[in-house]
Amino acid sequence: MTHLVVVGASLAGLRAVEAVRGDGFDGTVTLVGAEEHLPYDRPPLSKEYLAADECPDPRYREHATFADDLDVELVLGTPASALDTSARTVTVGDRSISYDGLVIATGAHARALPGTEGLAGVHVVRTLDDAIGLRGALRDGNRKVTVVGAGFIGSEVAAVARSLDLEVTILEALDTPLVRAIGERMGRALTRLHERHGTEVRTGVAVDEVLHDDGRVRAVRLGDGTELDTDLLVVGIGAQPTTGWLEGSGLTVDDGVVADARLAAAPGVYVAGDVARWPNALFDDVLDGPMRLEHWTSAAEQGRYAARNAVDPENAKAYETVPYFWSDWYASRVQFVGVAAGDHVEVVAGDDADGGPFTALYRANDRIVGALAVDMRAEVMKYRRLIGRREGWDAALALAAERREQAAAKAAEAKAAAAETTAQDGARA
């Protein structure tokens, strides 16, 4: 193994090159990125990066780190356009780059709303340039913001826009938002967070047409014919894995690049991040087939696994994980671990009727497979361990009972301390 090529210069690609260099790999390493930017931190782009008046630099590393510390050749600004797995070459612009081992980490791109190409006032949030554009637009005197799609990205942007005191409406095609990600009851619970903060959520509505004047969005026409005026239109209708460049490569592409448990898609070719579809052995009893995640933690881990497997295929290791994602809405933190599969969701702490705080557990095959918490930050990671050990449902309920007892004891202690303070204040008065 002399040349590792990593295509995709976001988190998974970064972690790929860092992992092998950290292990002492002394071959040549090339990192190819479609964007001009150095690898940067994506989760904040739909959250604090939009909300804060001062923009923190989202880049993970400086140029010098790649050149000096990591000894990585950066090929930025042009997307890879072709892969030849028999000749073992990747085409980038007019360059053909040979590889011995390859990591595909080209991620996903935001799905566009048909009929909005080139319209001013229409935004997606995926790249740093997208975020810079939207950040400016939210501060440009625009008053009305319409968000298409009540998923996590759309919800985060809606929350930021409300915090900037804009008028926000979310339009969702499904009757309940986030059904696929967290299930129906929990989708409803999270919708309450929006309503609590004055964001209007309209579900079961179709956007028939985007109306514009002189190339600038003016309104959207809904399925029932009503027109909704808007200054900005934010499109958050999901992301598609970036696999177009792999056409004709012989790799199996099916909503992502299909790989085996070791993330191998072909000899010498491994996948990582949003583009990867692989069988997650931890959930082989509850999932129908291989899964694809668009989460920070799995992208980081898969980047490391894929690169290590690519430079040492003889000792390639299988990757399995308990998925984890978080989302910040208003001042609330939403955290989810596991998969939202199964036959039952149980709220084990708090109350979901008004959007939390609460913790809910997901059951499938009589074991705990998922946990969702809203503003209960101490909870989900304790369940993540149970899920990773394939613990039964009873064990999860036992932990939940223990956590409730601990919370009650803590509350009683706090109350006693407060009473003590009040008594002391009374004595002094």
Partner 1 sequence: MKINVDWDKCTGMGMCESLAPDVFEVDDDGSLILHAEEVPDGQEDEVREAVAACPTEALSLES
Binding site for partner 1 (CB under 8 A): 43, 60, 296-297, 300-301, 304, 322, 324, 326, 333, 335, 337, 376-378, 380-382, 384-385, 388, 407, 410
Nearer to partner 1 (CB atom), residue 206 or residue 414: 414
> Which residue type does 299 have?
A
Q: Which of 172, 181, 243 is nearest to 207 (CA)?
A: 172
Nearer to partner 1 (CB atom), residue 40 or residue 245: 40
- Beta-carbon contacts of 81 under 8 Å, excluding residues fewer than 6 positions away, are 91, 92, 93, 245
Query: Nearest distance from residue 127's CB to partner 1, in Å?
Result: 19
Query: Nearest distance from residue 33's CB to partner 1, in Å?
Result: 20
User: How many helices (H) and strands (E) in the chain?
Assistant: 10, 27
Phi, psi of 67 (to 5 degrees): -70, -50
Tokens of 39: 């690898």
Q: What is the largest CA-CA distance in the chain?
A: 86
Cα 398–Cα 404–Cα 410 angle in degrees, nearest 5: 140
Q: What is the sign, positive or negative, of the torsion defined by CA atoms of 6, 11, 14, 17?
A: negative
Query: Nearest distance from residue 259's CB to partner 1, in Å?
Result: 22
Nearer to partner 1 (CB atom), residue 88 or residue 304: 304
Query: Nearest distance from residue 384's CB to partner 1, in Å?
Result: 4
> Which residue type does 332 have?
S
Nearer to partner 1 (CB atom), residue 155 or residue 335: 335
Nearer to partner 1 (CB atom), residue 52 or residue 112: 52
With b for 16 or more beta-carbon neighbours within 10 A and e for fewer, the 25-40 pattern comes to beebbbbbbbbebbbb
The answer to whether residues 144 and 166 touch, using CB atoms and an 8 Å cutoff, is yes
Rounded Cα distance, 192 and 40, in Å: 32
Query: Nearest distance from residue 288's CB to partner 1, in Å?
Result: 26
Nearer to partner 1 (CB atom), residue 11 or residue 131: 11
Query: Nearest distance from residue 37's CB to partner 1, in Å?
Result: 18
Query: Nearest distance from residue 24's CB to partner 1, in Å?
Result: 16
Nearer to partner 1 (CB atom), residue 122 or residue 299: 299
